[in-house]
């Protein structure tokens, strides 16, 4: 028996485990690339300090990577354990990129990552550099395939419903891979990963510079991070704008919720910079609007309209009524009682079958839905506006803040004065949590904004869950929370310990805490 409690708990468990997983993913994506860059500099210049940089940042990479692997396992299990109808209904399409991710990306990344850590003395410099690049390549490929899978949930292309097997089936692999939403998401997401790693290195290097420790090491790290970060940050923002354009095209409800765009205004629509969305009254109080901008971002034109929420709800109500017809025909088809005319009619109406399934939440029979239930289902097709509106603005503000920090860091690094500006070092240091805030807010917008759909306009979230009891899910959810909390404590403890030690943790004898003369030197108990 599927109840709202089962659905809500399944969603909460997925959201928590996915968002937790994504604390580690962006740093892996970006840091793998930065390690490859640092090691390339080492191989080209032969300067030992770049090898030390690769090894030290690689140590922090390893601590982060372990939890990325751990929490990634949960994601693979969870589609089957908690979203079994989803797995059945779309596995034919959604499973393929996941399997190819394993074959093409995970194997590459995971097979070579062991050699990155343990192979320094067992192969030539150039071979080791190649290993490091393959790890970076593997992790980025993995992001490509997972975002193709996610892009399909947002905008399902290249697939068709088959009533005989009662599921979506792939009609074009090329369309799945070249899905414009997936492509834009991929570049936006990996760039965000590069930004995360750049901020990580920048902030920690700034910490050493502020403490006056290991300056040659910290300054070089800071310089690489500022250049890499500036390029990545510009790319995230430009590609984020590209996402906005894609949304205007294919995910109108999400865009309308982000913008609290209640009414369809004459083109080009104004962009609501800030305000207080009021879902009861369907208005935005105290709104500060910039004329034309939303229309330009979403449609790249001054004449196309951006649809408002009220109009979208009316459109969806029509599609839900169509979907009821499709659902009725589906039952006849499955019972083998449909005439040829009904078969043809089903093919015509099946694009709206998903809208019909939306009614499962309100009445298990679907076709007996009352006008009241249909109207309610139509209203529920718009994701909750307040959280969307704010999460989006938090993400964008974080992005521009990081752009500012990178621009200043890069400018002053180029002028060789950055490390003499404590205000800049302090600003860089306090920016440390910002990329994580931006990533989590961004994923919240992407996935909360997909509601009420598990797969856009195809399969409602309500219908996608496994047949489990609320108590079972609650129990596993509590276990996840306990276990993940414990892991977080351990990870943060190790991270801060190695960050405080800095490159001295390499035991080369060249760094701060290993210098006899250093007044603040203290004995280290850390080994590896």
Partner 1 sequence: MLFDYETLKLIWWILIGVLLIGFAVTDGFDMGGCALLPLLAKNDDERRVVINTMAPHWDGNQVWFITAGGALFAAWPLVYAAAFSGLYWAMMLVLFALFFRPVGFDYRSKLDDPRWRNAWDWGLVIGGAVPALVFGIAFGNLLQGVPFQYDELLRPSYQGSFFALLNPFALLCGFVSLSMLALHGATWVQMRTHGPVEARARSLARTLGLTTLIAFALAGLWLTLAIPGYQIVHLPDLGGPSNPMLKEVLRVEGAWLHNYAAYPLTLLAPILAGVGLLAASFLAGAQRPALAFVSSAIAITGIILTAGFSMFPFVMPSSLVANASLTLWDAASSPGTLNVMTWAAIIFVPIILGYTAWCYRTMWQKIGVDFIRKNPHSLY
- Encoded one letter per residue, x for contact with partner 1 by CB under 8 A and - for no contact, window 371-390 reads --------------------
Residue selected from 37, 466, 504, 513 as contacting partner 1 according to rule CB under 8 A:
466
- Tokens encoding 52: 């030390």
Query: Is residue 287 close enough to count as binding partner 1 by CB under 8 A?
Result: no
3-state helix, strand, coil in the chain (%, to 5): 75, 5, 20
> Given the complex with partner 1, which of 416 and 507 has the nearer CB atom?
507
Rounded least distance, CB 3 to partner 1, Å: 14
Length in residues, the chain: 528
Give the range of 28-36, 91-99, 237-245, 411-419 binding partner 1 by CB under 8 A: 91-99
Query: Is residue 472 close enough to count as binding partner 1 by CB under 8 A?
Result: yes
Residue with tokens 């030992």: 48
- Angle of CA points 257, 259, 261, to nearest 5°: 80
Query: Is residue 88 close enough to count as binding partner 1 by CB under 8 A?
Result: yes
Question: Strand 459-460 to strand 453-455: parallel, antiparallel, or no bridges (unpaired)?
Answer: antiparallel
Q: Is 134 left (phi over 0), alpha (psi -120 to 50) or beta?
A: alpha
Query: Is residue 526 close enough to count as binding partner 1 by CB under 8 A?
Result: yes
**Beta carbons of 453 and 354 less than 8 angstroms apart:** yes
**Beta carbons of 290 and 238 less than 8 angstroms apart:** no
Give the range of 111-119, 192-200, 212-220, 251-259 binding partner 1 by CB under 8 A: 111-119
Query: Is residue 124 close enough to count as binding partner 1 by CB under 8 A?
Result: no
Residue with tokens 């306090």: 430
- Encoded one letter per residue, x for contact with partner 1 by CB under 8 A and - for no contact, window 128-167 reads ----------------------------------x-xxxx
- Determine the Cα–Cα distance for residues 372 and 393; give it in Å rounded to an integer: 34
Residue selected from 3, 171, 471, 496 as contacting partner 1 according to rule CB under 8 A:
171
Query: Is residue 271 close enough to count as binding partner 1 by CB under 8 A?
Result: no
Site for partner 1 in 46-65 (CB under 8 A): 62-63, 65
- Determine the Cα–Cα distance for residues 42 and 224; give it in Å rounded to an integer: 13
First to last CA, the chain: 52
Query: Is residue 122 close enough to count as binding partner 1 by CB under 8 A?
Result: yes
- Encoded one letter per residue, x for contact with partner 1 by CB under 8 A and - for no contact, window 223-262 reads ----------------------------------------
Residue with tokens 């920016």: 431
Query: Is residue 80 close enough to count as binding partner 1 by CB under 8 A?
Result: yes
- Tokens encoding 100: 């190819």
- Determine the Cα–Cα distance for residues 358 and 322; give it in Å rounded to an integer: 12
Residue selected from 115, 184, 320, 459 as contacting partner 1 according to rule CB under 8 A:
115
Query: Is residue 454 close enough to count as binding partner 1 by CB under 8 A?
Result: no
- Determine the Cα–Cα distance for residues 59 and 74; give it in Å rounded to an integer: 24
Residue 66's contacts (CB-CB under 8 Å, 6 or more residues apart) are: none
Question: Strand 283-290 to strand 271-278: parallel, antiparallel, or no bridges (unpaired)?
Answer: antiparallel
Site for partner 1 in 309-368 (CB under 8 A): 331, 334
Rounded least distance, CB 458 to partner 1, Å: 14
Query: Is residue 455 close enough to count as binding partner 1 by CB under 8 A?
Result: no
Distances (CA, A) of 84 to 78, 161, 162, 463, 467: 9, 18, 18, 10, 8
Residue with tokens 């191989």: 43
Q: Of 517, 528, 509, 501, give the one whose Cα is nearest residue 211.
A: 501
Rounded least distance, CB 467 to partner 1, Å: 4
> Given the complex with partner 1, which of 292 and 362 has the nearer CB atom?
362
Note if the bond before 452 is cis, omega within 30 degrees: yes
Residue selected from 170, 234, 293, 470 as contacting partner 1 according to rule CB under 8 A:
170
Residue selected from 288, 507, 518, 520 as contacting partner 1 according to rule CB under 8 A:
507
Query: Is residue 489 close enough to count as binding partner 1 by CB under 8 A?
Result: no
Query: Is residue 467 close enough to count as binding partner 1 by CB under 8 A?
Result: yes
> Given the complex with partner 1, which of 27 and 63 has the nearer CB atom?
63
- Determine the Cα–Cα distance for residues 11 and 7; give it in Å rounded to an integer: 6
Query: Is residue 178 close enough to count as binding partner 1 by CB under 8 A?
Result: no
Give the range of 292-300, 303-311, 381-389, 475-483 binding partner 1 by CB under 8 A: 475-483
């Amino acid at each position: 028996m599927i109840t709202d409690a089962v659905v809500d708990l399944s969603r909460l468990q997925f959201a928590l485990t996915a968002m937790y997983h994504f604390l580690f993913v962006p740093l892996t994506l970006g840091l793998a690339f930065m390690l490859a860059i640092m090691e390339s500099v080492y191989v080209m210049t032969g300067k030992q300090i770049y090898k030390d940089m690769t090894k030290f940042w690689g140590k922090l990479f390893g601590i982060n990577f372990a939890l990325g692997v751990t929490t990634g396992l949960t994601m693979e299990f969870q589609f089957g354990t908690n979203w079994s109808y989803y797995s059945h209904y779309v596995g034919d399409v959604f499973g393929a990129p996941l399997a190819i991710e394993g074959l093409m990306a995970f194997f590459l990344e995971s097979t070579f990552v062991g050699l990155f850590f343990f192979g320094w003395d067992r192969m030539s410099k150039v071979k080791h550099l190649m290993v490091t690049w393959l790890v970076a390549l593997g992790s980025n490929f993995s992001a490509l395939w997972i975002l193709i899978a996610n892009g399909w949930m947002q905008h399902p292309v290249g697939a068709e419903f088959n009533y005989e097997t009662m599921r979506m089936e792939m009609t074009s692999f090329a369309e799945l891979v070249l899905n414009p939403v997936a492509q834009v998401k991929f570049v936006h997401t990996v760039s965000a990963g590069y930004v995360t790693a750049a901020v990580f290195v920048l902030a920690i290097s700034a910490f050493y510079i502020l403490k006056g420790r290991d300056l040659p090491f910290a300054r070089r790290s800071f310089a690489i991070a500022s250049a890499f970060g500036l390029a990545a940050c510009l790319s995230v923002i430009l590609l984020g704008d590209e996402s906005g354009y894609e949304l205007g095209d294919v995910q109108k409800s999400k865009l309308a919720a982000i913008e609290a765009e209640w009414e369809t205004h004459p083109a080009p629509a104004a962009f609501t910079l800030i305000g207080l969305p009021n879902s009861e009254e369907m208005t935005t109080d105290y709104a500060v609007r910039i004329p034309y901008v939303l229309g330009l971002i979403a449609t790249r034109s001054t004449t196309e309209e951006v649809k408002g929420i009220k109009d979208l709800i009316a459109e969806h109500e029509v599609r839900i009524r169509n979907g009821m017809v499709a659902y009725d025909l589906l039952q006849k088809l499955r019972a083998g009682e449909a005439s040829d005319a009904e078969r043809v009619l089903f093919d015509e109406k099946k694009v709206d079958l998903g809208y019909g399934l939306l009614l499962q939440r309100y009445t298990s029979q679907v076709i007996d839905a009352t006008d009241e239930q249909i109207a309610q289902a139509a209203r529920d097709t718009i994701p909750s506006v307040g959280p969307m509106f704010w999460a989006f603005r938090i993400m964008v503000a974080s992005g521009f803040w990081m752009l500012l920090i990178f621009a200043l860091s890069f400018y002053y690094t180029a002028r060789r004065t950055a490390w003499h500006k404590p205000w800049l070092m302090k600003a860089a240091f306090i920016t440390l949590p910002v990329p994580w805030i931006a990533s989590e807010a961004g994923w919240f917008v992407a996935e909360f904004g997909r509601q009420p759909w598990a797969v856009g306009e195809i399969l409602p979230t309500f219908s996608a869950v496994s047949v489990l009891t609320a108590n079972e899910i609650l129990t596993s959810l509590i276990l996840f929370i306990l276990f993940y909390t414990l892991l977080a404590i351990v990870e943060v403890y190790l991270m801060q310990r190695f960050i405080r030690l800095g490159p001295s943790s390499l035991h080369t004898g060249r760094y701060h805490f290993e210098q006899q003369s250093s007044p603040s030197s203290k004995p280290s108990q850390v080994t590896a």
